[in-house]
């Protein structure tokens, strides 16, 4: 310590020595942290938790992926083995689309357990995605679930707090702060030095987690679906978000430590903030947005669609809209009877009905999704004070396990459903004869209709959706940093 | 009566107290002098059984403080350097609490006030919160606790350090008062003047042993000071 | 002096000190505020579920009325019977599998507002039809998934997460604080056992937040639930007991940590670490391990199997039809697309799907049960897990009540299916008499035993560590260092 002190004194004398002062402070802090048994325990525990999260995560992602691949193959087999049948009956039989889990769900499984993973693509209607995994889990899963995101979002801030809470108040209590300031060290240099040391330790603890994810990605990612470069880009942005999140905590800890009269007060204040940020505010905001921006119930949602669908004719040939459509088609082809049409009228009417339905489904599902987004925006709004509200959606978003990612999948599945409908209706239009209910299509048609293949969105797509949250995180980091600067400006040595 | 029978306490191979034999009968004030680390406070802690002896016995009115600490404490009162009380309670409330713990019954308010008056705490002071008390006032509450407890023996650990001369003098008179009531008083102090003033006997300790004992009647201030310095220097030389 | 007197004196003194401590009033304000908000919040959610059930029941009536009217019209020969079986109100198979399908709901218990439990993951009502179980069982209520992930601010959250902190805030420095301010030495110089004095102080410091919490919960429930609370008297008693026992765990933990004889800062850190371990780390490891050991079965696999069974049945039907037509070249009874053929085909497909889905869902259920059993056993590692489960059980939103509900729905589904399928198999038409004898569902709570015993084992699971820690605390406080 004494050599460090003289080192600092020597450096402070020169104008160019400021960086060396900062460096000396940082080195001393690192040494101090390294020798602190409490920190070693905490770091070991955190790293162990990260390791467990990674191992269980890899296990879960792989299992889910195996199940999905097997299911997709099985479904394809069922589809192609349908035999000869009416194309529209095949459309009713439909296909299933299974959602692939994003490889970065390893880092943050996000909402994956709380949304469905399979959707039935059948004629006439857009189904909701079914099978929420959370329904199968024991109640305890709602208390706390192990994931890297949990460790990074809830445990790592604690590490930052432990590293920073006594940074200034502890020096004051030991009397070393007087010593330091009497040497002519600027408080701001002390802040920068300590800050660098803490952030350095935090980054060093983040590294194994991110390297672990990276290795898992290289080993296990299905590269036919996910591009590795894209995953790496996502990972880099993810790391940036967490550095901002944790850097803000480090700055806040330093600020509170400089403000507080005793280390104990500093610790209590920081722990209270941690608790509010990680546990109270997320639930509070959830309830606030749920109550102020309510969603429709499933029944209301279905009824609204049914109401709109009543305006379309479906299979009802006495529906006024059906009659109007028939007259229009007859006029277009300049014939008087549907039997005289050069194309199959049943196929035409199915296609027309489908297309009317698409507009209705797009509107309703779009409105519902917009309602989710509105809730999510408001929930994240206080994120610059309580950064968990911003890092949570940001992390899920870049990991591809958020509501937006889910919607991307449902849109893609719906597009595929529509492609199936169009192909079977076109087949009917071209090859069917009016009034002949015996027309059947064969396996070659089923084989021509491709299996659902999902292209997950690119990193920039996820990032652009999370731009606001990233800005909020930057604001949090800046605010905490400025607070720390303000706090050390009025630092009392005794 | 306080009695130590080859009382020994060893902390990690270092003897803090080495076969101390000491007897303080009722009506006597025995002052323990000696440099820091000589074993004075350890002696007090052993009588209170705050620490257990390595060997030997500490007897309070014939009761072994280690074997029957509660019985021994019945006979004892203890006043540390700074009497620590509950800052949010008044002097009266603190006294009420500790006297209840000591005697098992709650005394009346007037009785407690009388005790505080006797200890020198005047007028409205008993009703104020202890957090605003001076060190001397806290000590008076400590004495009142000792009075309330009707203790047979009193242990004082550097009671006057940090007191102004007036307060120290007042304190000495209170001690004399207690002695006349027949209490056995063991006082640890650095204050030679106080030791001469209110002690009946003075012992000088060094390295866990009682190096010299004088009757205060037999020795004057200068003599005491010289004896103290001799013992301390011998300790440094050794 | 008797221990009782010492205890009382210590308690009086502690109350005098504590009532002047702003921390106490802050804690009490937080208890009242959070309990009130949590109950209000629970009430909002339960009311929304009740509204959803009511809406579903209303919605169910309309198609039923239409069917009855259609039937009456056909029977009175006002209209000709429709040629499509799915429009025919007399067709048992299509009526039972579609338009007449009935809503079943798990009724909320009086204390439902205290714990959301699993109720936000299941729809308010299930629409039971004569189809295979997978066709209705997996329906979901609309919910923002991010909200399901974060969970609600319900009383269970407040009690499991925050309530221990109130207790710890007032008890973490019970002995260490006295040592640091020097009063411990004076207390120890009195002829009483320090342990007894500390027990008295602990009773006040921990008893106040515990009793105020119980009182706040009672008052809040009385205000919000009002009259119906009387029927939940037993649950309320068990709830209070759970609050006290779970509180006791944290109290004795704080006492045991104080018994280690370290300073207040050390105690605070150790207790915060214990809180994190009990509430976050152990639960997350328990979940991860039980999921890895007995993975949740793949629902996709079930979907595929049921689809394959349906497709096979469909193909068999084709073959049967072809045979029939070979054998009866002139026969008109069965023709592709005829009313009868469509009904029989649907019946065959539905029966095949039902058989397959029941088989697979039962296997899945068994697999999940193994996972839940393991998680249930591991839950004894964390009193927070036990408390969380117990609160949901008391509120009637826990796993065991849902299991009972699903078992009864399953029975009801069989009954419903039997009613319609048997008529369809016999090719009987539904009569208006049948319409008034459709099976009805009503949920019957397991009388007492099941839930109470589940809570009892959880409470014992919390109680055993309480006793161990209490013994540790007593030992620690007896040997407690007095001087620094």
CA atoms within a 13 Å half-sphere pointing along the CA-CB vector of C214 = 17
Task: Judge: C190–B86 Cβ closer than 8 Å, yes or no.
Answer: no
Structure tokens at B207: 């390295």
Q: Is the pLDDT of residue A1 over 50?
A: no
- Give the chain B residue nearest C1 (alpha carbons): B104
Whether residue A139 and residue C388 make contact (CB cut-off 8 A), yes or no, is yes
CA–CA gap between residue A417 and residue A127 (Å, rounded): 10
Q: Chain C interface, mutation test: which of A166, A264, A287, most C Cβ atoms within 10 Å? A: A287
DSSP single-letter state for residue C226: G
Counted residue by residue, chain A has a size of 494
Q: How many CA atoms are closer than 13 Å to the CA of C159, on its beta-carbon side?
A: 35
Tell me the shortest Cα–Cα distance from B74 to chain C, in angstroms: 5
* C-beta neighbour count of A236 within 10 angstroms: 14
Q: What is the DSSP letter of A338?
A: G
The pair of structure tokens assigned to A323 is: 């009659």
Whether the CB-CB separation of B157 and B80 falls below 8 Å is answered with yes
Sign of the CA dihedral with A212 first, then A214, A216, and A219 last: negative
Distance, in angstroms, between B158 CA and closest chain C CA?
A: 15
Q: Do A284 and C153 touch (CB under 8 A)?
A: yes
pLDDT bucket at C447, cuts 50 / 70 / 90: low
Cα A92 from chain centroid (whole Å): 33
Q: What is the pLDDT of residues C309-330, one digit of tens each?
A: 888 888 888 888 888 778 877 7
Interface test mutation site (partner A, options C79, C146, C168, C172, max chain A beta carbons within 10 A):
C146
Q: Which chains touch B (3 or more CB pairs under 8 A)?
A: C
- A260 vs A253: CA distance, rounded Å: 10
Do the Cβ atoms of B22 and B115 come closer than 8 Å? no
DSSP line for A92-150: HH-EEEEPPPPGGGGT--TTGGGS-SEEEE-SS-BPPPB--GGGGS-GGGGT----HHH
How far does Cα A177 stand from its chain's mean position? 44
CA distance A75 to chain C (A): 6
Residues B153/B77, Cβ–Cβ less than 8 Å: yes
- DSSP assignments along A59-77, one per residue: HHHHHHHHHHHHHHHHHHH
Residue A431 token pair: 């090859």
Q: How far apart (Å, rounded) are the C-alpha atoms in residues A95 and A456? A: 19
* Reported confidence tier of residue B13, pLDDT bands at 50, 70, 90: confident
Cβ neighbours of C200 in B, within 8 Å: none
Q: What is the pLDDT of residues C66-98, one digit of tens each?
A: 999 999 999 888 888 888 888 888 988 888 888
State both tokens at C273. Answer: 């670490």
Token duo for residue C275: 């809180």
- Mutation target for B interface from C186, C205, C481: give the one with most B CBs within 10 A: C186
Q: What percentage of chain C has pLDDT greater than the value 90?
A: 49
Q: How far is B197 from chain C (nearest CA, A)?
A: 27
Q: C300–A136: do the CB atoms touch at under 8 Å?
A: no
The predicted-structure confidence for C55-69, as pLDDT tens digits, reads as follows 999 988 988 999 999
d(CA C49, CA C51): 5
**Whether residue A57 has pLDDT greater than 50:** yes
Torsion-angle region of residue A407: left (phi > 0), alpha (psi -120 to 50) or beta? alpha
Of B82, B102, B145, which has the smallest distance from its Cβ to C182's Cβ?
Answer: B82
Instruction: Kindly report, residue by residue over B158-208, the tens digit of the pLDDT.
Output: 888 888 888 888 888 888 988 998 999 999 988 888 888 888 999 999 888
Q: Cα–Cα distance between A411 and A409 in angstroms, integer?
A: 5
Residue of B78, B87, B97 lying closest to C189 (CB–CB) = B78
Phi and psi torsions of C364, nearest 5°: -60, -45
The answer to whether C17 touches B89, Cβ cutoff 8 Å, is yes
Select from C51, C151, C379 the Cβ nearest to the Cβ of A140.
C379
Cα–Cα distance between C430 and C423 in angstroms, integer? Answer: 8
List, for residues B102-139, the tens digit of each pLDDT value. 777 788 899 999 999 988 887 789 999 888 898 889 88
Supply B174's token pair. Answer: 């209170």
Residues A365-393: tens digit of each pLDDT: 999 999 999 999 999 999 999 999 999 99
Instruction: Spell out the long-range contacts of C214-218 with Cβ–Cβ below 8 A and sequence spacing 24 or more.
Output: C214/C240, C214/C243, C214/C244, C216/C31, C216/C32, C216/C35, C216/C36, C217/C35, C217/C39, C217/C114, C217/C155, C217/C243
Lowest pLDDT segment from A46-55, A309-318, C412-421? A309-318
Mean pLDDT of A257-269: 90
Rounded to a whole number of angstroms, the CA Rg of chain B reads 18
C4 and chain B: CB distance < 8 Å anywhere? no
Residue of chain C with shortest Cα separation from A78: C308
Assess C197–B contact: CB distance below 8 Å, yes or no: yes
Q: CB–CB of C318 and A83 under 8 A?
A: yes
Residue-wise DSSP of B173-226: HHHHHHHHTT-EEEEE-S-HHHHHHH-SEEEEEETTEEEEEEEGGG--HHHHHH
Q: Cβ–Cβ of C191/B78 closer than 8 Å?
A: no
Q: Please give the DSSP secondary-structure letter assigned to residue C232.
A: G
Helices (H) and strands (E) in chain C, counts: 19, 2
Cβ-based burial of A311 (10 A; exposed 0-12, middle 13-18, buried ≥19): exposed
The ipTM value here is: 0.89
Q: Give the closest-approach CA distance of C229 to chain A in angstroms.
A: 25
- Strands B2-11 and B55-60, by their bridges, are antiparallel
In chain A, residues with a C-beta closer than 8 Å to the C-beta of C337 are: 437
Cβ of C13 under 8 Å from any chain B Cβ?
yes
- Say yes or no for a CB contact (<8 Å) between A138 and C56: no
Structure letter (DSSP) for residue C328: -
Q: Is C186 on the interface with B (CB under 8 A)?
A: yes
Which of C9, C21, C483 has the CB atom closest to B101's CB atom? C9
CA distances from B236 to B34, B208, B210, C233 (A): 12, 14, 16, 77
Contacts of C152 in chain A (CB under 8 A): 283, 286-287
**pLDDT surpasses 90 at A31:** no
Residue contact C183–B85, C-beta within 8 A:
yes
Longest dimension (CA), chain A: 105
Asked whether the beta carbons of A53 and A146 are under 8 A apart, the reply is yes
Q: Is C12 on the interface with B (CB under 8 A)?
A: yes
Helix (H, G, I), strand (E, B) or coil at B76: strand
Can you tell me whether residue C474 is helix, strand or coil? helix
| Tens digit of each residue's pLDDT (9 = 90 or more) over A144-174 | 888 999 999 999 999 999 999 989 998 888 7
Specify the pLDDT at position C329: 74
User: Searching chain C, which residue's CA lies closest to the CA of residue A76?
Assistant: C304
CB contact (8 A) between residue B93 and residue C185: no
Q: Do B97 and C20 touch (CB under 8 A)?
A: no
Q: Do A268 and C268 touch (CB under 8 A)?
A: yes
pLDDT, chain C, mean: 89
Residue to substitute from C141, C173, C291, interface A, most A β-carbons within 10 A? C291
Bridge partners, residue A119, by sequence: A97
Q: What is the bridge-based pairing of β-strands B14-24 and B29-33?
A: unpaired
Q: What value does the mean pLDDT take over residues C205-231?
A: 89
Helix C282-293 and helix C339-378: axis angle, to 10°? 130
Q: What is the pLDDT of residue C483?
A: 67
For C10, nearest residue in chain B (alpha carbons): B97
| A27 has a pLDDT exceeding 50 | yes
What sign results for the dihedral spanned by CA atoms C119, C121, C127, C128? negative
The region of weakest confidence among A24-38, A258-272, B45-59 is A24-38
Q: Are A428 and A439 spatial neighbours (Cβ–Cβ below 8 Å)? A: yes
pTM of the model: 0.88
Give the percent of chain A with pLDDT over 70: 96
Chain C interface test: which of B65, B74, B100 (most C C-beta within 10 Å): B100
């Amino acid at each position: 310590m004494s050599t460090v002190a003289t080192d600092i004194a020597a450096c402070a004398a020169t104008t160019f020595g400021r960086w060396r002062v900062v460096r000396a402070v940082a080195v001393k802090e690192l040494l101090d942290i390294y020798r602190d048994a409490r920190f070693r325990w905490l770091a070991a525990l955190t790293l162990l938790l990260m390791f467990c999260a990674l191992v269980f995560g890899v296990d879960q992602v792989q299992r889910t992926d195996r199940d999905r691949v097997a299911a997709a193959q099985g479904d394809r087999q069922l589809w192609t083995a349908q035999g000869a049948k009416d194309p529209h009956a095949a459309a009713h039989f439909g296909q299933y689309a299974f959602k692939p889990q994003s490889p970065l769900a390893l880092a943050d499984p996000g909402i994956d357990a709380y949304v469905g993973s399979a959707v039935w693509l059948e004629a006439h209607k857009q189904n909701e995605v079914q099978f929420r995994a959370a329904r199968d889990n024991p109640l305890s899963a709602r208390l706390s679930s192990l994931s890297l995101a949990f460790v990074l979002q809830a445990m790592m801030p604690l590490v930052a707090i432990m590293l920073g809470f006594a940074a200034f108040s502890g020096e004051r209590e030991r009397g070393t702060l007087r010593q330091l300031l009497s040497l002519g060290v600027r408080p701001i240099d002390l802040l920068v030095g300590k800050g660098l040391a803490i952030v350095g330790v935090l980054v060093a603890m983040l590294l194994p987690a991110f390297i672990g994810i990276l290795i898992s990605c290289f080993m296990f990612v299905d590269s036919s679906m996910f591009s590795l470069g894209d995953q790496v880009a996502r990972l880099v942005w993810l790391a940036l978000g967490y550095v901002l999140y944790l850097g803000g905590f480090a700055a806040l800890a330093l600020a509170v430590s400089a403000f507080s009269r005793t280390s104990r007060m500093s610790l209590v204040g920081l722990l209270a903030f941690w608790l509010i940020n990680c546990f109270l505010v997320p639930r509070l905001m959830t309830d606030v947005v749920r109550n102020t921006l309510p969603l429709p119930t499933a029944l209301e949602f279905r009824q609204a669609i049914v109401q709109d669908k009543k305006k379309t004719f479906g299979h009802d040939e006495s529906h006024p809209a059906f009659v109007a459509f028939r007259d229009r088609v007859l006029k277009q082809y300049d014939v008087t009877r549907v039997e005289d049409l050069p194309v199959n009228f049943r196929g035409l009417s199915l296609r027309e009905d489908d297309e009317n339905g698409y507009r209705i489904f797009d509107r309703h599902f779009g409105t519902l999704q917009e309602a989710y987004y509105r809730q999510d925006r408001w929930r994240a709004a206080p994120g610059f004070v309580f950064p968990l509200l911003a890092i949570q959606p940001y992390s899920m978003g870049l990991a591809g396990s958020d509501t937006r990612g889910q919607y991307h999948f449902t849109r893609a599945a719906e597009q595929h459903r529509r492609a199936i409908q169009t192909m079977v209706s076109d087949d009917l239009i071209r090859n069917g004869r009016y009034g002949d209910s015996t027309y059947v299509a064969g396996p070659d048609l089923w084989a021509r209709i491709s299996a659902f293949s999902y292209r997950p969105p690119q990193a920039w797509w996820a990032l652009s959706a999370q731009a606001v949250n990233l800005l909020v995180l930057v604001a949090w980091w800046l605010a905490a940093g400025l607070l720390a600067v303000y706090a050390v400006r009025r630092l009392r040595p005794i | 009566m306080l009695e130590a029978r080859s009382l020994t306490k060893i902390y990690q191979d270092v003897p803090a107290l080495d076969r101390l034999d000491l007897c303080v009968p009722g009506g006597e004030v025995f002052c323990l002098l000696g440099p820091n680390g000589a074993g004075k406070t350890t002696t007090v802690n052993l009588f209170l059984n705050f620490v257990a002896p390595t060997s030997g016995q500490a007897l309070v009115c014939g009761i072994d403080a280690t074997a029957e600490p509660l019985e021994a404490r019945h006979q004892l009162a203890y006043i540390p350097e700074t009497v620590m009380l509950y800052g949010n309670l008044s002097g009266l409330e603190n006294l009420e609490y500790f006297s209840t713990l000591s005697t098992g019954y709650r005394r009346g308010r007037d009785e407690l006030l009388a005790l505080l008056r006797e200890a020198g705490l005047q007028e409205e002071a008993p009703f104020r919160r202890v957090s605003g008390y001076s060190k001397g006032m806290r000590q008076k509450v400590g004495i009142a606790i000792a009075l309330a407890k009707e203790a047979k023996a009193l242990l004082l650990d550097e009671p006057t350090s940090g007191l102004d001369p007036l307060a120290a003098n007042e304190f000495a008179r209170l001690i004399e008062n207690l002695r006349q009531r027949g209490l056995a008083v063991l006082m640890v102090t650095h204050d030679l003047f106080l030791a001469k003033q209110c002690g009946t006997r003075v012992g000088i300790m060094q390295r866990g042993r009682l190096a010299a004992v004088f009757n205060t009647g037999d020795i004057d201030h200068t003599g005491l000071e010289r004896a103290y310095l001799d013992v301390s220097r011998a300790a440094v030389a050794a | 002096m008797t221990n009782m007197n010492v205890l009382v004196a210590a308690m009086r003194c502690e109350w005098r000190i504590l009532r002047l401590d702003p921390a106490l009033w802050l804690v009490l304000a937080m208890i009242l505020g959070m309990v009130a908000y949590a109950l209000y919040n629970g009430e909002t959610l339960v009311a929304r579920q009740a509204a959803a059930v009511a809406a579903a029941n209303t919605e169910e009536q309309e198609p039923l009325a239409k069917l009855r009217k259609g039937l009456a019209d056909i029977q009175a020969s006002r209209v000709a019977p429709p040629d499509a079986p799915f429009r025919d109100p007399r067709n048992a198979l299509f009526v039972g599998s579609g338009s007449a399908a009935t809503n079943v709901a798990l009724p909320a218990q009086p204390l439902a507002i205290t714990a959301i439990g699993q109720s936000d993951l299941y729809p308010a009502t299930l629409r039971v039809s004569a189809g295979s179980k997978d066709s209705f069982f997996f329906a979901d209520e609309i919910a923002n998934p991010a909200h399901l992930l974060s969970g609600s601010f319900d009383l269970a959250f407040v009690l499991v997460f925050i309530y221990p902190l109130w207790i710890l805030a007032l008890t973490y420095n019970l002995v260490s604080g006295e040592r640091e301010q020097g009063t411990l030495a004076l207390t120890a110089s009195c002829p009483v056992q320090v342990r007894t004095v500390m027990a008295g102080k602990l009773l006040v410091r921990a008893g106040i937040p515990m009793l105020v919490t119980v009182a706040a919960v009672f008052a809040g429930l009385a205000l919000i639930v009002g009259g119906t609370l009387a029927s939940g008297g037993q649950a309320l008693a068990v709830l209070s007991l759970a609050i006290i026992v779970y509180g006791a765990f944290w109290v004795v933990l704080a006492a045991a940590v104080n018994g280690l004889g370290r300073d207040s800062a050390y105690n605070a850190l150790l207790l915060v670490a214990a809180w994190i371990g009990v509430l976050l780390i152990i639960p997350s490891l328990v979940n991860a391990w039980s999921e890895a050991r007995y993975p949740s079965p793949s629902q996709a696999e079930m979907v595929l199997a049921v689809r394959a069974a349906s497709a096979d049945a469909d193909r068999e039907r084709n073959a049967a039809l072809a045979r029939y037509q070979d054998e009866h070249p002139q026969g008109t009874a069965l023709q592709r697309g005829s009313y009868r053929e469509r009904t029989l085909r649907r019946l065959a497909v539905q029966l095949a799907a039902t058989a397959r889905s029941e088989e697979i869902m039962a296997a899945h259920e068994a697999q999940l049960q193994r996972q839940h059993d393991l998680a249930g056993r591991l839950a004894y590692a964390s009193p927070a897990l036990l408390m969380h489960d117990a609160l949901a059980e008391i509120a009637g939103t826990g796993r065991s009540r849902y299991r009972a509900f699903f078992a009864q729905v399953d029975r009801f589904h069989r009954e419903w299916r039997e009613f319609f399928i048997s008529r369809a198999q016999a090719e009987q038409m539904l009569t208006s008499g049948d319409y008034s004898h459709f099976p009805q569902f009503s949920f019957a709570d397991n009388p007492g035993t099941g839930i109470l015993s589940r809570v009892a084992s959880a409470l014992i699971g919390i109680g055993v560590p309480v006793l161990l820690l209490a013994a540790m605390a007593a030992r620690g406080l007896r040997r407690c260092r007095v001087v620094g």
